[in-house]
Structure 1
Amino acid sequence: MKTETIGTANFETWTTEEVADAFAANKIVLIDVRTIPEYAFQHIEGALLLPMPFFDAHKLPGQSDKRIVLHCGSGVRSEKMARACIEAGIDRIAHMEGGFGAWKEAGKPYIGTSMSTGGPERVNA
């Protein structure tokens, strides 16, 4: 994990491995900031969707029980939204380095769309 101090806040960049381990142990809330169609086509099972255009850092829950980790397709949008969280007064926030692309490249499981049925299917599960 890489940590950057911004004022009094800690901005963290987590690897896919760190996210996968913490998510499997129910230690984090994983928030996908991609678009609705991107999420519908393929997403990390159990990740919540909060698309970037609708993202309001002031509405995020506290992190007393679980940490918040943001992710997008490549890490660019999630980093932008994590920095917006810090500007909104959140003192500790994280995002996943490389985004969903890195997750897939690492062979982590996700929900995809079956090309034969058009329905959801588990990939790499």
Structure 2
Amino acid sequence: MKSETVGSATLETWSVEEVEQAFAANEIVLIDVRTPQEYIFEHIEGALLMPMAFFKAEKLPGQTEKRIVLHCGSGIRSEKMARLAIDAGVTKIAHMDGGFGAWKTAKKPYIGTDMASGAPKRVG
């Protein structure tokens, strides 16, 4: 994990493996900031959706029990939303390096769409 001090806050960048392990251990809340359409088509099972267009940092849950890790498609939008959260007063936030694209490249499981039926299906 890489970390950067932004004022009095800490912005962390987690690897896919770190996110997978912490998510499996129920240590984090994983929040997808992609569009609803992207999420419906494919997403990490159990990840919550707070699209960038409607992102309200002040509505994020507290982090007393679980850390928050944001992710998007490539890591660009999630980093932008993490910085927005810091601007809103969140003192520690993380995002996943490489986003969902890196998750898929690492062959991690996710919910995709069966192109023949349009139904959701587990991949990986």
TM-score by length of 1: 0.98
Give, in whole Å, the separation in 2 of the partners of 1:43 and 1:60.
20
Counterpart residue type for residue 99 of structure 1: G
Counterpart residue type for residue 96 of structure 2: M
Quote the residue 1:14 is aligned against.
Answer: 14
Quote the residue 2:100 is aligned against.
Answer: 100
Following superposition, the deviation at residue 49 of structure 1 comes to 0.4
Quote the residue 1:29 is aligned against.
Answer: 29
Which ranges of 4 or more aligned residues in structure 1 deviate by more than 3 Å? none
Q: Deviations over 1:74-111 (max 9, x none)?
A: 00000000000000000000000000000000000000
Give, in whole Å, the separation in 2 of the partners of 1:77 and 1:89.
19
- For structure 2, list consecutive stretches of 5 or more residues without a partner in the other structure: none
Following superposition, the deviation at residue 115 of structure 1 comes to 1.1
- For structure 1, list consecutive stretches of 5 or more residues without a partner in the other structure: none
Quote the residue 2:38 is aligned against.
Answer: 38
Give, in whole Å, the separation in 2 of the partners of 1:34 and 1:42.
11
Alignment of 1:1-125 (within 5 A): 1-124=1-124
- State the SS of the aligned residue for 2:43: coil
- State the SS of the aligned residue for 2:79: helix
- State the SS of the aligned residue for 1:74: coil
Give, in whole Å, the separation in 2 of the partners of 1:42 and 1:59.
24
Give, in whole Å, the separation in 2 of the partners of 1:12 and 1:87.
15
Give, in whole Å, the separation in 1 of the partners of 2:115 and 2:19.
28
- Quote the sequence identity (%): 71
Following superposition, the deviation at residue 117 of structure 1 comes to 1.1
Give, in whole Å, the separation in 1 of the partners of 2:73 and 2:16.
12
